[in-house]
Amino acid sequence: MIEIKNLTKIYHTAHQDILALDDVSLSVKRGEIFGIIGLSGAGKSTLIRCINMLEKPTRGSIMVDGQDITLLKQQQLRTARQKIGIIFQQFNLLSSRTVFDNVKFPLEITGIPAQAARQRVEQLLDMVGLSDKARVYPEQLSGGQKQRVGIARALANDPKILLSDEATSALDPQTTRSILKLLKDINRQLNLTILLITHDMNVIKQICDRVAVINNSRIEEVGDVLSIFSNPQTPTAQSFIKAIINKDDPQEYRKDLIKQHGDKYSRLIRVSFIGASAGDPVISAMIKRFDVDANILHGNIDRVKDVPFGHLTLELIGSRSGVERSMSFLQDNGLDIEVL
Amino acid sequence: MILSAHAVFANIDLNAFWAQNSWIGEKLATATWETFYMVIICTALSYLFGLPLGVILVTTEAGHVLENRWVNRSLGVIVNATRSIPFIIFLILVIPFTRLVVGTSIGTTASMVPLTLAAIPFVARMVETSFKEIQWGLIEAAVSMGANAWQVIAKVLIPEAMPSIILGVAITTINLVSYSAMAGIVGGGGLGTLAYYYGYQRYEDLIMWATVIVLIIFVQCVQVLGDKMAARAINKRR
Ligand SMILES: Nc1ncnc2c1ncn2[C@@H]1O[C@H](COP(=O)(O)OP(=O)(O)O)[C@@H](O)[C@H]1O
Ligand SMILES: [Mg+2]
């Protein structure tokens, strides 16, 4: 749906040339939610702004639904932009217009007849759950409500793709979740392709199908969200994952534990799991089967696109062979084990 | 008894005063009306021309919807040049043009020409400032939805800047009151002429002070009205 090839963007400023995008190539499939994650200054906004030509690329091509956006003339570009929805971190709603008229704004731009426009706005407000706020001005809305208006407005002209520039970065975690859920619902209902950029791995984790990691103007890693989570290749990706997975520091309890049961054999391990095995009663089966005790010291379970994902720090206590065999048992069941 | 006698005396005094000075009241009323309509018409005309110029000044800037370096630069130079001429000199400079337009350079109609011409670049800058207060993100949002330049101007710039533009109208009107008095000194009519010919040249203190009071009240009213209307435009959004 979006095909970016060798995209380079250089900003020429008075003092220097800034290479904001360095030979970026990406492909976003129809109907998927694609996330781009990177630190501040990595080039995310530049990338998304090139897709609707708010920034003119220095080199490269950007195909949106088979049409190279970079080659369009002014009038063609305006028509193409009407089919590219975008939502912003700062919402960018018009303070002079009510919620209703804000959503109607893009329909006025395309020149939809008033009656049809009104119906469309009502339908959109219903979809984002703001029908009761139609006559209210944006200033009276909470951040989450403002973004809902932003989403309704972005969808007004039935876009082929929806771009999101840090749309939840100004919102609290709970509101962020509800906005992400709305985006996901829309993605499913309309089979709408969504390209979002963020610096927050939680956003990627909650709704993205695939993710690209951007660092220093380059795409460093692209892949399925689950595989990036379970097996990040680059230091950038690893640090993003680490930031949201709340791992414990084994040093805190290691010394005390080993001392406590001097006669028995014990091992401190961290079990990482991903996918279905998290749901199986593997640990309890292990305890019964090998006659070991499992002392749970720390645990963390999360969901990445509805797939359980997490880790558990355990102290296994029992006979030496029981503990060793327990560990291979866990591995055989698809769990990843790290001896601490 | 005593009280009523007092009242009678006061009455007689006031009547006598009024009989002596009633011509002042008439002069004052005429002059106030002249100033009023001069200022109102000049404000309207200066916005008719100044508002579009302000729009052009803003939208032809680099990166804006009608980016045009050449137009932006030249217009900026013209506006600045006009604004740097002191009004009293400007008045004299445009006399040939005034004669051409209205046939004379004396009187209220004639003084509206230099007043309007001087106010246009002022208005253009005021409007420009109002537009620049708008968050750039709003303009970008409209552009990214496919809006053309005209739609950005009519649907984003002007409505969003409206409260600020209204305040600008009040400031312009007040400035025009004071400029119209200056025009009055060279025969422009209105309160300025009255104050100059009677108050200054004939030492009629009463006229001088009456003029000052009328001007204070007028300016006060304009400012209060402007503030009210701007506040209403903002409050509507809350
Ligand atoms: N309009 C601009 N002019 C000059 N440099 C810019 C401009 N916009 C962004 N940059 C620079 O380009 C780089 C990438 O910026 P940006 O795309 O905004 O990053 P991100 O959105 O990931 O924080 C930064 O170094 C930034 O300073
Ligand atoms: Mg950014």
Q: pLDDT per residue over B109-125, tens digit each?
A: 889 999 999 999 999 99
* Cross-chain residue pair B142–A109, CB shorter than 8 Å: yes
Taking the C-alpha atoms of residue A45 and residue B186, their distance in angstroms, rounded to an integer, is 60
* Cross-chain residue pair B238–A97, CB shorter than 8 Å: no
Helix and strand numbers (H, E) in chain A are 12, 14
Please state the ipTM of this predicted complex.
Answer: 0.84
Three-class secondary structure assignment of B124-150: HHHHHHHHHCCCHHHHHHHHHCCCCHH
What sign has the CA pseudo-torsion A147, A152, A155, A156?
negative
Taking the C-alpha atoms of residue A282 and residue B114, their distance in angstroms, rounded to an integer, is 92
Which of A80, A94, A139 lies closest to B138 in CB terms? A94
Most distant CA pair in chain B, distance: 85
Q: pLDDT per residue over B126-173, tens digit each?
A: 999 999 999 999 999 999 999 999 999 999 999 999 999 999 999 999
Q: Stretch B211-217: mean pLDDT, rounded?
A: 90
Domains recognised in chain A with CATH numbers: 2-243 (3.40.50.300), 251-339 (3.30.70.260)
Contacts of A84 in chain B (CB under 8 A): 144
Which of A10, A11, A47, A52 has most ligand 1 atoms within 8 Å of its beta carbon, as the pocket-test mutant?
Answer: A11
* Cross-chain residue pair A137–B148, CB shorter than 8 Å: no
Q: Which of A90, A141, A95 minimizes the C-alpha distance to B237?
A: A95
In chain A, which stretches have pLDDT less than 50?
none
Taking the C-alpha atoms of residue A317 and residue A332, their distance in angstroms, rounded to an integer, is 20
Contacts of A137 in chain B (CB under 8 A): 236-238
Query: Which residue ranges have their beta carbon within 6 Å of ligand 1?
Result: A 11, 13, 18, 20, 38, 40-46
Length of chain A: 340
Q: Report the 10 Å Cβ neighbour count for B161.
A: 22
Q: What does the domain layout of chain B look like in residue ranges?
A: 5-237
Using only the alpha carbons of chain B, give its radius of gyration: 23
Looking at the CA of A39, which ligand is closest?
Answer: 1
* B81 contacts B124 by C-beta, under 8 angstroms: no
Question: What strands lie across the sheet with A59-64, from one edge to the other?
Answer: A17-28, A2-12, A59-64, A67-68
Contacts of B144 in chain A (CB under 8 A): 52, 54, 81, 84, 86
* Cross-chain residue pair B145–A88, CB shorter than 8 Å: no
Query: 3-class SS at A266?
Result: strand
Best A79, A84, A91, A95 member to test B by mutation, with max B CBs in 10 Å, is A95
Distance A43 CA to ligand 1 centre (A): 6
Looking at the CA of A55, which ligand is closest?
Answer: 1
Distance A40 CA to ligand 2 centre (A): 6
Q: Whose CA is nearest to atom 7 of ligand 1?
A: A11
* A149 contacts A141 by C-beta, under 8 angstroms: yes
Q: Whose CA is nearest to atom 4 of ligand 1?
A: A11
Looking at the CA of A44, which ligand is closest?
Answer: 1
Distance A185 CA to ligand 2 centre (A): 25
Q: Whose CA is nearest to atom 24 of ligand 1?
A: A41
pLDDT at residue B35 tops 60: yes
Residues of chain A that touch chain B, judged by Cβ-Cβ distance less than 8 Å: 52, 54, 78-82, 84, 86, 88, 90, 92, 94-97, 105-106, 108-110, 137-140, 153, 157
Pairs across A and B, CB distance < 8 A:
64
Q: Is B57 on the interface with A (CB under 8 A)?
A: no
Q: pLDDT per residue over A29-84, tens digit each?
A: 999 999 999 999 999 999 999 999 999 999 999 999 999 999 999 999 999 999 99
Distance A173 CA to ligand 2 centre (A): 19
pLDDT at residue B1 tops 70: no
Domain B5-237 has CATH 1.10.150.120: no
Ligand 1 atom at minimum distance from A47 CA = 17
Taking the C-alpha atoms of residue B30 and residue B40, their distance in angstroms, rounded to an integer, is 15
Contacts of B156 in chain A (CB under 8 A): 94
Distance A241 CA to ligand 2 centre (A): 20
Taking the C-alpha atoms of residue B152 and residue B109, their distance in angstroms, rounded to an integer, is 37
Which of A13, A19, A36, A46 has most ligand 1 atoms within 8 Å of its beta carbon, as the pocket-test mutant?
Answer: A46
What pLDDT, on the 0 to 100 scale, is given for residue B12? 60
Q: pLDDT per residue over B73-105, tens digit each?
A: 999 999 999 999 999 899 889 999 999 988 888
Nearest chain A Cα distance for residue B238, angstroms: 6
Tokens of A46: 């530049």
Q: Which of A286, A271, A275 minimizes the C-alpha distance to A318?
A: A286
Using only the alpha carbons of chain A, give its radius of gyration: 25
* Cross-chain residue pair A79–B138, CB shorter than 8 Å: no
Contacts of B154 in chain A (CB under 8 A): none
Q: Stretch B17-43: mean pLDDT, rounded?
A: 85
Which residues in B74-89 are b (16+ Cβ under 10 Å) and which e?
ebbeebeeeeeeebee
Taking the C-alpha atoms of residue B96 and residue B227, their distance in angstroms, rounded to an integer, is 38
Where residue B5 falls among pLDDT bands split at 50, 70, 90?
A: very low
Q: Which of A144, A170, A98 minimizes the C-alpha distance to B238?
A: A98
